[in-house]
Amino acid sequence: MAHIAVPLANDFEDSEFTVPAERLRAAGHRITVIGRAAGDRVTGKRGKARVAVDARAEDVDPDDFDALVIPGGYSPDHLRTVPSVVSFVRRFCATGKLVAAVCHGPQLLIEADAVRGRTTTSWPSVRKDLENAGARWVDREVVEDGNLVTSRKPDDLDAFSEAILRRLGGARAEARP
């Protein structure tokens, strides 16, 4: 099964980590949370999710992963100022493997210079940043452009998760009640 890197810092949108993570794990995929320091505990902005960072960004190689999933919330904004995380994301995007970002997640892709010429979506407040970085922004639940999958908000997580799972080989997780 696939090995997925998830960059994460404090103030991530709780459901934008937990829903895709639950679905990916249920389908047999492995998730490695990367961040500033291994062992750090990061907390979602709603206080419902608390996650341990598995590895420092500078200690992992993009070649060891099959996909990159970037949750939103304020986490991407915090991480875009961490050079090792931005470097990892930039190097991962250069591999051509699956990259998925939801809500404010594309902020990290902007910092990694990975959206120019791409069609994307995001939380509306990120629209102008994406356009200024050279992306075409559309208002759709999920946008797939080559290896890039983007989504707008927590309400879109079912479609976002399904798009990721489909790209990883057709596995389908059980829908939430």
Q: How far apart are CA 75 and CA 10, in angstroms?
A: 6
Our measurement of the distance from residue 21's CA atom to the centroid of its chain's CA atoms, rounded to an integer in Å, reads 11
Q: Which residues contact 123 (CB under 8 A, 6 or more apart)?
A: 72, 103, 104, 152, 153
For residue 93, indicate whether it is catalytic: no
Nearest to 163 by CA among 117, 101, 115, 118: 101
* Angle, CA 30 vertex, CA 113 and CA 27 arms, to 5°: 110
Q: How far apart are CA 106 and CA 130, in angstroms?
A: 8
- Set 21, 89, 103, 126: catalytic member: 103
CA distances to 32, 35, 61, 67, 82 from 58, in Å: 13, 9, 8, 17, 10
| DSSP element (H, E) containing 18 | helix 14-26
The set of catalytic residues is: 103
